[in-house]
């Protein structure tokens, strides 16, 4: 796996946990999702900086860091937020379905 795969998996896991057991308030939940998405985006740059220290490709890390621009960052953050909200929504819907099934059964 590449470092981006690990970032996306960690972001998805955090968003799913938030969706499953997160706050009932939508404003608070959306704030946490935005925080998780931006944190995942920033972690990808941190991973690029640290990857040569752990035997990663130095040229790839340099291209990743040197390719930083506001337009690229905006697109990357948009993708990270979409990914986060996708997993948050899937977990929230799953929890709602299970909770609805419990209330109808009793």
User: How many Cβ atoms sit within 10 Å of the Cβ of residue 13?
Assistant: 13
Distance CA 43, CA 48 (A): 8
Identify the domain containing residue 32 by its residue range: 3-101
Decide if 106 is inside a domain.
Answer: no
Decide if 55 is inside a domain.
Answer: yes
The per-residue pLDDT for range 17-45, each reduced to its tens digit, is: 998 888 888 899 999 999 999 998 888 88
Decide if 77 is inside a domain.
Answer: yes
The per-residue pLDDT for range 54-100, each reduced to its tens digit, is: 667 778 778 877 888 889 889 989 999 999 999 999 999 888 888 77
Decide if 8 is inside a domain.
Answer: yes
Task: Spell out the long-range contacts of 92-96 with Cβ–Cβ below 8 A and sequence spacing 24 or more.
Answer: 92/19, 92/20, 92/22, 92/29, 94/19, 94/20, 95/19, 95/20, 95/21
Between helix 70-105 and helix 3-21 the angle, nearest 10°, is 40
pTM > 0.85: no
| Domain total of the chain | 1
């Amino acid at each position: 796996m590449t470092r981006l795969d690990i970032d996306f998996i960690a972001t998805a896991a955090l968003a799913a946990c938030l969706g499953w057991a997160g706050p009932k308030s939508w404003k608070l939940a959306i704030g946490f999702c935005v925080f998780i998405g931006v944190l995942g985006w920033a972690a990808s740059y941190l991973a690029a900086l640290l990857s040569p220290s752990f035997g990663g490709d130095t040229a790839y890390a340099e291209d990743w860091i040197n390719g930083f621009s506001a337009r690229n960052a905006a697109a990357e953050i948009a993708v990270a937020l979409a990914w986060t909200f996708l997993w948050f929504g899937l977990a929230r819907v799953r929890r709602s379905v299970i909770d609805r099934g419990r209330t109808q059964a009793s």
